[in-house]
Amino acid sequence: EVQLVESGGGLIQPGGSLRLSCAASGFAVSNNYMSWVRQAPEKGLEWVSVIYNTGTTFYADSVKGRVTISRDNSKNTVYLQMNSLRAEDTAVYYCARGLGFGDNSWGQGTLVTVSS
Amino acid sequence: EIVLTQSPGTLSLSPGERATLSCRASQSVTRSYLAWYQQKPGQAPRLLIYGASTRATGIPDRFSGRGSGTDFTLTISRLEPEDFAVYYCQQSSPSLMYTFGQGTKLEIK
């Protein structure tokens, strides 16, 4: 069974750093396009980043330079390192496999709150 | 960046009626890379349609997608009570930033 479990969210002060994890089971992250998508409270979905099976990465302009996506194939886990966090980064962060493709699946999300 | 604009923002209909949701792109999107999602409160999104017109596994045939270029449509032929939710279009063009539309809320009239 395909499963994605996010962790690492929490309350963080502005300017702080946080690393989110997405542990996958039922498939290999190394063979898939893995994305992070966020949703601010009462707002729509916002794509954050993707890592291709080749290792190529892309980022939304809103996080470029502050966020790094990576993966550990041995742990079958994808990460999102977030630095210089701002209030507007407050959101539920979802991990997704194959965004826009037939094998798409999502985790349950992890809440990041940036506040002093 | 490809901007996706969905309309209407809110659609008020009754069960049994037909719903038509629109997604317009700021530049051409290859059909293969256009998808539709449904999201209910407190839940992760669920893929409905990919490749502009292919239903995802387990999606009822009352959901259909069509379109090409810059104009795409999601149609729900006969609304069931469980269909009232927020719907998003999304493009995943290779080597470009992915984007979502702002969403259409389908509410019970």
Q: Do B98 and A47 touch (CB under 8 A)?
A: yes
CB contact under 8 A, B56 and A104: yes
Chain A residue with CA closest to B54: the answer is A102
Residue B82: the pLDDT is: 97
Min Cα separation A79/chain B (Å): 18
Confidence label for A70 from pLDDT (cuts 50, 70 and 90)? very high
Please say whether the beta carbons of B104 and B90 come within 8 A. Answer: no
Contacts of A35 in chain B (CB under 8 A): 98
Query: pLDDT class for A33, splitting at 50, 70, 90?
Result: very high
Q: Looking at the predicted structure, is the pLDDT value of residue A38 above 80?
A: yes
Pairing of strands B63-76, B19-29: antiparallel
Query: pLDDT exceeding 90 applies to what percent of chain A?
Result: 97
Pairwise CB contact (< 8 Å): A47 & B102: no
CB contact under 8 A, A45 and B57: no
The arithmetic mean of pLDDT across residues A58-80, rounded, is: 97
Segment A27-37 mean pLDDT? 97
Contact B6, B33 (CB under 8 A): no
Residue A83 has pLDDT above 90, yes or no: yes
* Cβ–Cβ < 8 Å for A51, A59: no
What is the DSSP pairing of strand A67-72 with strand B4-7?
unpaired
- Given this model, what pLDDT does residue B13 score? 97
> Which of B48, B89, B96, B98 should one mutate to test binding to chain A, selecting the residue with the greatest count of A CBs within 10 A?
B98
State the amino acid at position A65 in one-letter form.
G
Report the C-alpha gap between A63 and A9 in whole angstroms: 17
Phi, psi of A19 (to 5 degrees): -120, 120
Beta-bridged to residue A22, according to DSSP, are A6, A78
* A45·B90 Cβ contact <8 A: yes
Give Cβ neighbours of residue A38 (< 8 Å, ≥ 6 apart).
A45, A46, A48, A89, A91, A92, A93, A94, A112
Mean pLDDT rounded to a whole number for chain B = 96
Q: How far is A103 from chain B (nearest CA, A)?
A: 8
For residue A46, which residues of chain B lie inside 8 Å, CB to CB?
Answer: 100
Task: Report the pLDDT value the prediction gives residue A10, as an integer from 0 to 100.
Answer: 97
Closest to A102 in 3D by CA, of B97, B34, B49, B61: B49
Q: Extract the tokens encoding A110.
A: 């992890």
| Inter-chain CB proximity B54 and A104 less than 8 Å | no
Q: Do B98 and A45 touch (CB under 8 A)?
A: no
- Per-residue pLDDT at A14 exceeds 80: yes
Q: Note whether B7 and B24 are within 8 A (CB).
A: yes
Question: Quick one: which H or E segment has residue A6?
Answer: strand A3-7
Check B35 against A104: CB less than 8 A apart: yes
- pLDDT of A114: 98
Residues of chain B with pLDDT under 70: none
Q: Which residues of B touch A61 (CB under 8 A)?
A: 1, 97
pLDDT of residue B94: 82
Radius of gyration (C-alpha) of chain A in whole angstroms: 13
